[in-house]
Amino acid sequence: MRNPEQLAVVGVTGYTGFELARILLRHPAVKSPVFYVRDTQNKNCLAELFPQLRGVGEAPLRSLSLSEIIASNAGTAFLATPHEVSVGLAPALLEAGMRVVDLSGAFRFRSANTFATWYKLPTPHADWLSKAIYGLPELYAGEIASSRLIANPGCYATSVILALRPLAEAGLIAGGSSVVCDCKSGASGAGKDPRRDLHFVEVDENFKVYNLFSHRHTPEILEHTGLPEDRVIFSTHLLPLARGILSTIYVTLSAVHSGNEIEAIFRKFYAGRSMVRIWPAGSLPELQHVAHTNFCDIGFCLDSSGKRLIVVSCLDNLGKGAAGQAVQNFNLMLGIEERTGLQ
C-alpha cells in the first residue's frame, strides 16, 4: 500500500523545482522524499547537486525512471516538469495508484482544445482533464482534499484570479466594461533554460512587455473569474529582479461603493483563508512584503466617484505562484493544516 507522505519529486533543477525541494525537505509530514532528474551529473544526493541544501538536502537523487518511481512506495508525486513531460508522466503515475501534483499547465483546463490552442501541444492526456482539480485552495479546498490529480495554477493567474473572483461573484463588475490586468514578474518566472533575452545584460536596468494577447495564463483567468475574453485585457511585463509578481487591476464597478464596503467584501470572501492577506482600504502591498512567502497580499484604491477601483495583488511567483501553492495543495490532500511547512 502506498504511503501518501512518501514522495517522488520529479524535476528539481529549475527555479520552481529547487524552491519545491527547499520547502519539502523541511516539511514535518514528508517522509523519505526521492528526487528524480534527467541528468544527475554523477551525483547521488540532492545536496551534492545543490550545496546550499547541505544539512537538509541529504535526500536521494536518481535518474528519471518512470518504472522506478512506480515501483517505489511513494504515494504522491510532484511534477516540476515541462508541460509535454507531465503529459506523459502523470497518467502513468495515476494509473499506478499515486497522487499527482503537477506544476505545469498540462491539466489546468477542462477542454483539450484549450490546452492545444494555447500551449501548441497535442493532448494525449485528454481523458484525464476532467479528473484534474485546479489547485487554487482559496477557491477549491474541498475538491482538492479529495482529488488524486491537482493542476497547480499559473503564477500570473493566481494573482489575478484571487483579486477578481470576489468582485465577480458579488456582481460588482460593471456589465460590458473592460477589466485591465497589468502584471509584472521577476525573471525567474520565465524558467531556467538559457535564453538570450534573459541574459543579465538584457534584463538588468530594463523593463519590457511580452506575450500580449497570447500569454498562456489567459484562459485560466477567464475560466476562474467567469469573465469573457473580450472584456479582459491581460498584459505581462518582465521586471529586472529575481522573483515576485505585482498585478495592478483596473475595474469599473456596477454601482457606487465605499472603500469600507469593498474591503468587507474581500475580507468576507477570504475569511479563514490565511494565505491571502487583505490590506485596509487605500493601502497597497509591495513585492518586498511577499518575497519568499506563500502569501498573496491584496490592496485597493477607490476613486472619489466610488465606481473606479484599482486592485493591487502581490505574491512570490516561486512561492504562492508555484512551489508554495503546490505544497499547500499537498497539505489539503493529506488532510493536515494547509500552512504546514509554509511559515
pLDDT the model gives residue 237:
97
Residues 51 and 96 in one domain: yes
- The three-point CA angle 154-164-330 to 5° equals 40
What is the pTM for the complete model shown? 0.96
Q: Classify the phi-psi angles of 169: left when phi > 0, otherwise alpha if psi is within -120 to 50, otherwise beta.
A: alpha
Enter the C-alpha cell of residue 224. Answer: 476562474
* Catalytic position from the list 155, 181, 183, 296: 155
pLDDT the model gives residue 221:
98
Nearest CA-CA partner of 328 in 194, 80, 135: 135
Say if residues 245 and 184 touch (Cβ distance below 8 Å).
yes
pLDDT the model gives residue 194:
74
Nearest CA-CA partner of 132 in 162, 165, 91: 91
Is 155 assigned a catalytic role?
Answer: yes
Enter the C-alpha cell of residue 244. Answer: 515576485
Residues 185 and 280 in one domain: yes
C-alpha span between 272 and 277 (Å, rounded): 10
**Distance between alpha carbon 211 and the CA centroid of its chain, in Å?**
19
**75 within a domain of the structure (yes/no):** yes
Residues 64 and 209 in one domain: no
Listed residues 131, 165, 188: the one ending a domain: 131
Say if residues 50 and 22 touch (Cβ distance below 8 Å).
no
Q: Classify the phi-psi angles of 231: left when phi > 0, otherwise alpha if psi is within -120 to 50, otherwise beta.
A: alpha
pLDDT in tens, the chain (343 residues): 788 889 999 999 999 999 999 999 999 999 889 999 999 999 999 999 999 999 888 899 999 999 999 999 899 999 999 999 999 999 999 999 999 999 999 999 999 999 999 999 999 999 999 999 999 999 999 999 999 999 999 999 999 999 999 999 999 999 999 999 999 999 998 777 778 888 888 889 999 999 999 999 999 999 999 999 999 999 999 999 999 999 999 999 999 999 999 999 999 999 999 999 999 999 999 999 999 999 999 999 999 999 999 999 999 999 999 999 999 999 999 999 999 999 8
Nearest CA-CA partner of 33 in 49, 19, 21: 21
Enter the C-alpha cell of residue 254. Answer: 456596477
Residues 7 and 105 in one domain: yes
Residues 243 and 111 in one domain: no
**302 within a domain of the structure (yes/no):** yes
Residues 206 and 287 in one domain: yes
Residues 190 and 299 in one domain: yes
Enter the C-alpha cell of residue 141. Answer: 479546498
**150 within a domain of the structure (yes/no):** no
Q: Where are the alpha helices (DSSP H) in the chain?
A: 15-24, 46-49, 66-71, 83-95, 112-119, 126-129, 137-145, 155-169, 200-203, 218-225, 259-269, 324-334
pLDDT the model gives residue 16:
96
pLDDT the model gives residue 57:
80
User: If you compute the radius of gyration of the chain from its CA atoms, what whole number of angstroms results?
Assistant: 20
**331 within a domain of the structure (yes/no):** no
Query: How many domains are contained in the chain?
Result: 2
Residues 214 and 300 in one domain: yes
Residues 126 and 187 in one domain: no
**Distance between alpha carbon 272 and the CA centroid of its chain, in Å?**
20
Q: Which residues pair with 235 in a beta bridge?
A: 182
What range does the domain containing 221 cover? 156-317
**138 within a domain of the structure (yes/no):** no
